[in-house]
Amino acid sequence: MAARKESTRVAIVGGGPAGLMLSHLLARDGIDSVVVERRTRAEIHATVRAGILEPGSVRMLVESGASRRVLEKGDRHDGIELRIDGDGHRIDFQDLVGQSAWLYPQTDVFADLADARERDGGDVRYAVQDVTVVGVTDAHPLVVFTEDDGSAVELSCDVVIGADGSRSACRKLIPDAQRRSYFREYPFAWFGILTEAPHSAEELIYAASDRGFALISQRSETVQRMYFQCDPGEDADQWSDARIWDELQSRVAGNGFSLAEGPITDRVVLPFRSFVCEPLRHGSLFLAGDAGHTVPPTGAKGLNLALADVGVLHEALAELLLGGSASGVDSYSDRALARVWKSQHFSYWMTTLLHEQPGASDFDRRRQRGELESIASSRAGSAFLAEGYTGWQHAAVAQPVA
Ligand code: PHB
């Protein structure tokens, strides 16, 4: 059966937050796009991801009309607690850098974007198969795929966006000789749970203890997200609920504090890795989000970085497709990568600051506590953390979100 021929200006491979946000922003400029996504909408929705948004991400969601819910349902967090061997130190973002972070789960960001695309008549094809991209150095690349109903489509476009996640197939279209990959594996992972329990504290707790790292995060008034550092080979199903709670409690214990416990409804072991692909462009192909880079989860930079890519890419594409100027697309990779490497450093730094390194010497451990104390006890050190956590908004120009 011959493939149905279609055309659009921007073909977006991947319907996660990066792909949907770009499609949404382009539509506001009157630029057509088609999003093709391998998974069903329900499958993406069920993926549990991080929950912290930088103010710049919130602004993008609100000002573009993609989400009002983030301001209504999201929780503004003006700081975090660094808990060092049971002793709490507050990092006050508002006082230090005049910013806040927002607790709003990625699942909700995805739902808002998917709803916005549906509401605005956006063309998003979920559950497609056999996606192949050809001719990214030709005038009109093609994205070939099979629809949910079995029909074949040949989509011609001006530009292809690879927003197809960390196992990106689009990335491999950049020839080996022109693509450089930077990797870092870490010798630990996170054991993550969802629990039906009330908040244990108002703000997120990042705890360093001699048993290893723990993070007490939140999802809602009644559902909490918690993590503790574990071996990457750990089998989450081998752990009883009692053992999980014991591990979490022991890592945050001190000054009479304990976690509110409840039924554990989800558990997962998350691997840690840092990855960057350079450049993020080849011909008419542009990579955005996890397709171009992955960060370890400490500091929750992944989604924020994906949205930052999309902000730069959207402007560059509008210049190209509406104004005929290639200067924005020519500088996209360098501009996006500048932020990517800052976020890589931040995620790596928060990770190594707070986690137990297997095989660490006594010197290594004492030095690490010295570093933590330097951050917690110094305004400059705390401000460095606050600035990175809230996404390097420059106080003089940044508009507070709400
Ligand atoms: C989360 O809520 O999943 C989360 C929050 C903060 C992080 C990482 C993950 O640093």
Is 264 in contact with 241 (CB distance < 8 Å)? yes
Query: Kind and range of the H or E element at 293?
Result: strand 293-294
Is 297 in contact with 269 (CB distance < 8 Å)? no
Q: Quick one: average pLDDT of 36-65? A: 95
pLDDT class for 317, splitting at 50, 70, 90?
very high
List beta partners, residue 269: 191
The Cα angle at residue 138 between residues 132 and 141, in degrees rounded to 5: 35
| pTM, entire model | 0.96
| Joined tokens for residue 201 | 């504290």
Q: Where are the domains of the chain?
A: 4-51+105-179+279-356, 182-272
Q: Is 82 exposed, middle or buried (0-12, 13-18, 19+ CB in 10 A)?
A: buried
**Where does 182-272 sit in CATH, by number?**
3.30.9.10
Is pLDDT of 402 > 70? no
Residue 95's contacts (CB-CB under 8 Å, 6 or more residues apart) are: none
Alpha-carbon gap, residue 205 to 188, rounded angstroms: 19
Cα–Cα distance list, 288 to 161, 198, 336, 380, 381 (Å):
7, 36, 9, 33, 31
Owner of token pair 């990779």: 333
For a mutational test of ligand 1's pocket, the pick from 83, 217, 267, i.e. the residue with the most ligand atoms closer than 8 A to its C-beta, is: 217
Q: Any catalytic annotation for residue 186?
A: no
Give the position, in ligand 1's atom list, of the atom nearest the Cα of 217.
Answer: 2
Query: Kind and range of the H or E element at 181?
Result: strand 180-196
Cis preceding-peptide flag for 279 (omega within 30 of 0) = yes
- Domain 4-51+105-179+279-356: CATH architecture, name and number where available: 3-Layer(bba) Sandwich (3.50)
**Whose alpha carbon is nearest atom 8 of ligand 1?**
300
Alpha-carbon gap, residue 303 to 91, rounded angstroms: 22
pLDDT tens string 355-386: 999 999 999 999 999 999 999 999 999 999 99
Q: Report the separation in Å between the CA atom of 117 and the middle of ligand 1, taken as the mean of its atom positions.
A: 27
Alpha-carbon gap, residue 389 to 102, rounded angstroms: 11
Computed over every residue of the chain, the mean pLDDT equals: 96
Q: Report the separation in Å between the CA atom of 282 and the middle of ligand 1, taken as the mean of its atom positions.
A: 33
3-state SS assignment for residue 195: strand
pLDDT of residue 400: 53
Q: Quick one: average pLDDT of 218-236? A: 96
Q: Quick one: average pLDDT of 54-81? A: 97
Cα–Cα distance list, 125 to 4, 58, 134, 148, 309 (Å):
15, 26, 19, 8, 22
For a mutational test of ligand 1's pocket, the pick from 47, 52, 304, i.e. the residue with the most ligand atoms closer than 8 A to its C-beta, is: 52
Is pLDDT of 74 > 80? yes
3-state SS assignment for residue 119: helix
For a mutational test of ligand 1's pocket, the pick from 82, 194, 227, 268, i.e. the residue with the most ligand atoms closer than 8 A to its C-beta, is: 227
pLDDT class for 123, splitting at 50, 70, 90?
very high
Is 252 in contact with 207 (CB distance < 8 Å)? yes
pLDDT tens string 264-276: 999 999 999 999 9
Q: Any catalytic annotation for residue 199?
A: no
Q: Measuring from each residue's beta carbon to the nearest atom of ligand 1, which residues come in under 6 Å?
A: 50-52, 204, 215, 217, 225, 297-300
**Catalytic residue of the set 126, 186, 206, 348:** 206
Q: Quick one: average pLDDT of 109-127? A: 98
